[in-house]
Structure 1
Amino acid sequence: MKSTYLMSAVFATSTVLVAPTMAVPDTPKKWEKCAGIAKQGMNDCGALDGSHSCAGQAKADNLDTEWVYVPKGTCNKITGGSVVAIKPAK
């Protein structure tokens, strides 16, 4: 009975230690502003048209004047750009 508990504990611990490394993407080197993808109330900083100067004030989803920071190259993927390079798996 004790060996069952020990194996369960080992499995749970190894799962916790491995899972975060698989779920975390590469750390971005550069960020870009991506307009038109922010959800209502989830924008970063002020609107591009100057209608407000604070984060979290987007009045609707996907407004052209509201933006969020995304890793460089991501915005083109979201707005219909094409992938021009593929990173090899490690």
Structure 2
Amino acid sequence: MNVRTAITAAALAASLAGALATAAKAGPAPAQPGADKCYGIALAGKNDCAAGAGTTCAGTSTVDYDPGHWKYVAKGTCEGMKTPTGHGMLTPM
């Protein structure tokens, strides 16, 4: 195996490992006592789960502040959170 082939193989292995890690966390984040699911506040890739078509769950949102994705926040704070698109919501839009 030459150096170029070894580098290509290493890059492919790293890509596969990353894809497997993403797939492994594709479910919802574990329940958090004392927290609310707050929709519309998560940044892209930082959601705790998703609601709606085209998503698989935690960490899969592709846009900031999508009203169909939620993130856990301290109980009672969601609706007071302001984003560039509005406030957090306790139910999906």
TM-score scaled by length of structure 1: 0.50
Q: 1:51, CA displacement in angstroms?
A: 2.9
Instruction: Pick the structure with more strand per residue.
Output: 2
CA deviation map 1:12-60 (0-9, x unaligned): xxxxxxxxxxxxxxxx961110000000110002x11143232111110
Q: What is the rounded CA distance, in whole Å, between the counterparts of 2:33 and 2:39 in structure 1?
A: 20
Q: 1:70, CA displacement in angstroms?
A: 0.4
Note closer, same or farther for the CA distance 1:49–1:29 as it changes in structure 2 (3 Å cut): closer
Structure 2: 5+ residue runs without aligned partners? 1-31, 82-86, 89-93
2:80 corresponds to 1:58: no
Structure 1: 5+ residue runs without aligned partners? 1-27, 81-90
Aligned to 1:35: 39
Note closer, same or farther for the CA distance 1:31–1:50 as it changes in structure 2 (3 Å cut): farther
The 4+ residue runs of structure 1 with deviation greater than 4 A are none
What SS class does the counterpart of residue 79 from structure 2 fall into?
helix
TM-score scaled by length of structure 2: 0.49
Aligned CA-pair RMSD: 2.0
Q: 1:76, CA displacement in angstroms?
A: 1.4
Number of aligned residues: 52
Structure with bigger gyration radius: 1
Instruction: Output the amino acid matched with 1:58.
Output: S
Overall identity of the aligned pairs, in %: 42
What SS class does the counterpart of residue 76 from structure 1 fall into?
helix
Aligned to 1:44: 48
What SS class does the counterpart of residue 62 from structure 1 fall into?
coil
